[in-house]
Chains A and B, each alone.
Chain A
Amino acid sequence: MKILVIEDNKELASSIHDYLAGENYICELAFSATEAREKLLFFTYDCIILDIMLPDGNGLELLNLVKEEHINGSILIISAKGALDDKIKGLEEGADDYLTKPFHLPELHARLRAIHRRKNLDGNNIISFKEITLNTNTFELKIHGKALDATRKEFELLLYFLVNKNRVLSRQAIANHLWGDYTDNLSNVDFVYQHVKNLRKKINMAGGDDYIDTIYGLGYKFNTNKG
């Protein structure tokens, strides 16, 4: 997957670059609207990560450019502005998703993948890893081809793990992914623990391997080298 990151903060841009490069994506950076405009007109990208507030122009103008020039590629907006009006405006202008700063890198990745899945509707809504199969359309979870009765949250949790394989996912990042805006003031960490525990138990009961590692006090990791 080829991605253009338009973000004026160099540290943040490099963080995104580093994380996505780890997933073997080709990731290019643009630090200003002018730079971004050039790149958008000359190259094609699968996905564009766009910061709304840029030093030399509003990111929404770039969004218009993409629409007017019929540039391919899904757009994910990242902005410090969480205001509803900005969000709706961005989505109306043709953005595919919206993420408010400060976001978690695994969350950004998960969103990118979700947009990508939606955009490329070639019937490939099955995500599988060894004995685990997830259907993102029907929210069906199968272990060894046998359906597993998991809650929606457990399904989303496993999907999150599978998208961010071999990555350390902090409890906050998981809570944020599962409950979004409704992550009430930090106490979710316990709830994350409960959900992970339940998910592990269910997969175990169905005869699946336990790929989820607990990383010290940090969080969890879906370890593909296990089993």
Chain B
Amino acid sequence: MFTTLSNIRNRIDNSEIERLKAVNNEVAEQLKAGIAPDQYSQGRPIAILKINSALPQNRVQVQKQQCDSTASVTDECRITVSCYYTINGINYQVSSYNYVTQSKQILKGMLLTAILKTVLIALVVLLTVRLVSKKILSPFNQTLKSIQKFSIKKKQPLTLNHTNTKEFQELNRFLKKMTDKAIKEYSLVKEFSENASHELQTPLAVLRSKLELLTETDIQQNQASLIADMQNAIEKLSRINHSLLLLTKLENQEFEATKEINFTKQVLELLTIYEDRIAIKELKVTQHIDPDITVRINPALADMLFDNLLSNAIRHNVKNGTIFLEINKKGILIKNTGPEPIFPTEELFQRFKKSNQCSNSVGLGLAIVKRICELNNFDVQYTYENRLHMLTVDFPRAGLTETDREEGISVLGQDNQIVTLG
């Protein structure tokens, strides 16, 4: 900027000096010819002085007179060029001067245009960068979107759009390879746990049957109690195995919700199955079940979900306790009396987490409930209030699309009036 400025200034000055020099020469020529020059020859003020002394070494002298802005309104600078000639034996000093624009003025002008240009350039650059990057990065953004949507549990391989950019091709190739491998490994692990659970069934069957045959033999009481303990252990083992297998199947998405089912019907059927157990524990059941509630869920899962909820409410209840059951189109609410939970209630959704009181339970029931709810986009909550265990399952609202459902959770949360009912 400043080099440009000084350059320009020098150029202006030099050309002015050259011109003044030429004028001086012209005047000198006139003097030589004997014509008395005008004071304002060629439109410039000329001063001709006869010098008695010798000519200075430098035949041309330039004098720049910086003008004070306060003194001069014009903000200009005076350049005086004095030339020395010897004409007809007489030494003359011919000097002429002119005003040139001051550098400050130039600077001002330059600055303004420079700023304007810079701003313009910046704007153009920004705009182009935005547009170009949008265009160039569009494959990248698409890839990003696909990755964000990718879920290893869904087992759908990552689909990426084709791109011509080499770097993105490489990125996509790498991502594809990585996710495919992850899916493969994941399903291998899942397959392993499923197979392991299956393989355990036969040895368990052998153990159980041998023990049963053993009880047929002539045994003493102390032997009988040993066998009973073993049978209990096998029973527990087989239950854990069964539940783990179920959880694995749930993880593997083997239960698809194909159609809407009549939830009320299933609930009522299950209630009759548990009738005798409710009666034996002398529980008081209050139920508000709306007729013909339809829910989109796999029938086997619906069965398991309510089975676990109800059997929990019975098992963890106290004698002469109560169960409050409400089912409507918004969801399920089940409240029951029971000993106070030792852990924070939310922790009980974890596998093998259970309250100590009921040591013969496996501790997978609520984990199964949670998983079933997650699979079907239900919202499940467990709270302990007013000495009541309260489990709520909120069905997704009818008419919500698959993508809406995720956002819908917060909406459902506000709609959670079931909780405060009763």
**A12–B273 CB distance below 8 A:** no
- Residues of A within 8 Å of B, CB-based: how many? 44
Partner of B239, one of A15, A185, A219: A185
Q: Is residue A104 within 8 Å, beta carbon to beta carbon, of the partner chain?
A: yes
CA distance A124 to B249 in the complex (A): 42
Residues of A within 8 A of B361 (CB): 185-187
CA distance A15 to B205 in the complex (A): 10
**B276–A153 CB distance below 8 A:** yes
**A218–B228 CB distance below 8 A:** yes
Residues of A within 8 A of B236 (CB): 186
Q: Which residue of B lies closest to A178 (CB)?
A: B276
**A185–B362 CB distance below 8 A:** yes
Residues of A within 8 A of B270 (CB): 182
Q: Is residue B76 within 8 Å, beta carbon to beta carbon, of the partner chain?
A: no
Among the stretches B13-21, B206-214, B284-292, the one at the interface with A is B206-214
| B199, B210, B215, B300 pick with most chain A CB within 10 angstroms | B215
**A172–B201 CB distance below 8 A:** no
Residues of B within 8 A of A82 (CB): 242, 245
A22 to chain B, nearest CB (A): 7
CA distance A132 to B205 in the complex (A): 33
Q: Is residue A179 within 8 Å, beta carbon to beta carbon, of the partner chain?
A: yes
* Interface hits, B279-303 → A, CB 8 Å: 280, 300
- Residues of B within 8 Å of A, CB-based: how many? 48
Binding site for A on B (CB under 8 A): 198-199, 201-202, 204-210, 212-213, 215-216, 221, 224-225, 227-228, 231-232, 234-236, 238-239, 242, 245, 249, 254, 270, 273-274, 276-277, 280, 300, 307-308, 311, 314-315, 358, 360-362, 365
A-B contact pairs, 23 of them (CB 8 A): A9-B202, A11-B206, A12-B205, A12-B209, A15-B212, A19-B209, A80-B199, A80-B202, A81-B198, A83-B254, A102-B201, A102-B234, A168-B212, A182-B273, A184-B365, A185-B360, A186-B239, A187-B358, A187-B361, A191-B277, A195-B276, A218-B231, A219-B215
Binding site for B on A (CB under 8 A): 9, 11-12, 15-16, 18-19, 22, 78, 80-84, 100-106, 151, 153, 167-168, 170, 172-173, 179, 182, 184-188, 190-191, 194-195, 215-219
